[in-house]
Amino acid sequence: MYKKLQNDFFNPIVCIFANEITLKTHHLMGNNLFTRKSITKLMKESDDDGKGLKRSLTAISLVALGVGGIIGAGLFVRTAAAAANNAGPSVTIGFIIAGIGCALAGLCYAEFASMIPVSGSAYTYSYATMGELVAWIIGWDLVLEYALGAATVSIAWSEYLNKLLGYFNTQIPYEWCHSPFEVSTAGIHGIMNIPALFIVFLLTILLMRGARESALVNSIIVITKVSIVILFIVFGWSFINPANHTPFIPEATKFIDAQGVSHNFGGILGILGAAGVVFFAFIGFDAVSTAAQETRNPKKALPIGILGSLAICTVLYILFSYVLTGVASLEDFRTVGKEASVTYAIQTYMSGFGWLAKLVTVAILAGFSSVILVMLYGQSRVFYSMSKDGLVPGIFSELHPKFRTPYKSNLLFFLFVGLFASFVPQDIVGDMTSIGTLFAFMLVSAGVWIMRVTNPELKRGFKTPMVPLVPILGILVCAAMIFGLGWANWIRLLIWMAIGFVIYFSYSRFHSKIDDTKD
């Protein structure tokens, strides 16, 4: 019955969308705006001829890469923010919803990655299924996830470095770890965030050296921070106060935070809002797909890396959020705890575990470092593919003669990310990153469905189950989380996309190599 419904109803609709509408739009607008990239060409690009990106990563490396990109600012900072502003202890349910949305999208990513093992992630997949303009939108959208996300996390890294130095009775002067737009309570004006710039520079140099070396450092960091997360869950469980989980789902109200921003708190809308906020904590697993051209046996290794890292982190997130909201109260997250709620909860409520608070600080620094590393890596690989297609200048795809890494792209993004990290304060970029990534996930989910109908003969190392049900559910869950983030974030996304359209129609459209990709 399901197969008959799919063949008689769903598939014809997708065929119309993917072929008839695309061709008519292309005829009306011209210049290949909706022409799709040749699958044959994409597969040729994935071949290792000794001149492209170096294949050195294994399935285990990819799982570590995914976990390294996922566990970081989202877990240690966004959990407390979502509990305080949106859902209280039911932030745990928010993590479950976000995890379901990511799992549905992750299944779609895994099929694409096994079918088209090429750098570029959602950008490349969209180019093959929905055409150049949609691919550009996604590629530009991913700048929100990777470049601006890296800048945001590097600023958080700077803040936690000072917390660690505080254990040794020393501090970096305020003016040299804050942007010019920030002023301390003592009236000191920031000048430049040097620690944030330093960590971006250090990780950029590591990426220029090579993917294998970067993966080794990332694996060491991953082992460290996962171990400490597990320690907090194990030791914190006995300190859970049932009163902090009562009621588990607060009554629906409005909450106005310290900046005067109104949030839906409690109830269904509060949980959806929390899911959208903590979704930032899951960002990173999709960066695994950007490593396709540097992976040995990518058709098997990529699905393992994507789904394996996502499964590990989802379990840890649910347990971590349940313990944290049980140890500390809602008022703690809103007042004294805030971005340092994890260390505050340990120091205040877990007697005899002061050493764990210090280790958590180290884990947070390590976690932030690996997240920045993965984000910088993913950004350079997306622009590598876009450059090969002519949508951005050729300098982004020039490889180092020895290390075979896009070193010039790494340097350019160091300058871009470093500028934001050094001179712009950390504020609402986390939600912008989430909404941009959710949008990308929706298009990847749609793309798998389209490819099943338009190219059913292609060999797939991994197949998403129950198509089109899984892609449809992925689209709906991600759309619900976008809805939960509120209209202010929708407007910011539209403004960012408008800037992207200006660049596309003034440069990319006229430098596209799409005509060269036809069979």
Please, where are the H alpha helices in 167-297? Answer: 194-209, 211-236, 267-278
Structure tokens at 141: 């959208």
Q: How many domains is the chain built from?
A: 1
* DSSP string for 123-181: HHHHHHHT-HHHHHHHHHHHHIIIIIHHHHHHHHHHHHHHHHHHTTT----GGGBS-TT
| Domain assignment present for 24 | no
| Domain assignment present for 47 | no
Which of 151-165, 314-328, 344-358 shows the lowest per-residue confidence on average (mean pLDDT)? 151-165
| Domain assignment present for 277 | yes
Nearest Cα neighbor of 395 from 404, 381, 379, 384 is 384
| Domain assignment present for 39 | no
Nearest Cα neighbor of 302 from 106, 51, 49, 142 is 106
| Domain assignment present for 38 | no
| Domain assignment present for 19 | no
- Asked if pLDDT for residue 324 goes beyond 90, the answer is yes
Q: Across all residues in the chain, what is the average pLDDT?
A: 80
Q: What is the CATH number of the domain that holds 149?
A: 1.20.1740.10
pLDDT tens digits for range 280-310 = 778 777 767 766 667 777 777 878 888 888 8
b/e per residue, 57-78, with b = 16+ CB within 10 A?
Answer: bbbebbbbbbbbbbbbbbbbbb
| Domain assignment present for 72 | yes
- Asked if pLDDT for residue 251 goes beyond 50, the answer is yes
Domain enclosing residue 79, as ranges: 56-517
Structure tokens at 185: 């309570």
What is d(CA 423, CA 454) in angstroms, rounded to the nearest whole number?
A: 47
Nearest Cα neighbor of 255 from 242, 241, 279, 274 is 274
Cβ-contact 451, 37 below 8 angstroms: no
pLDDT tens digits for range 203-218 = 999 888 765 666 677 6
CA distances from 237 to 76, 231, 328, 333, 484 (A): 17, 10, 12, 18, 30
| Domain assignment present for 331 | yes
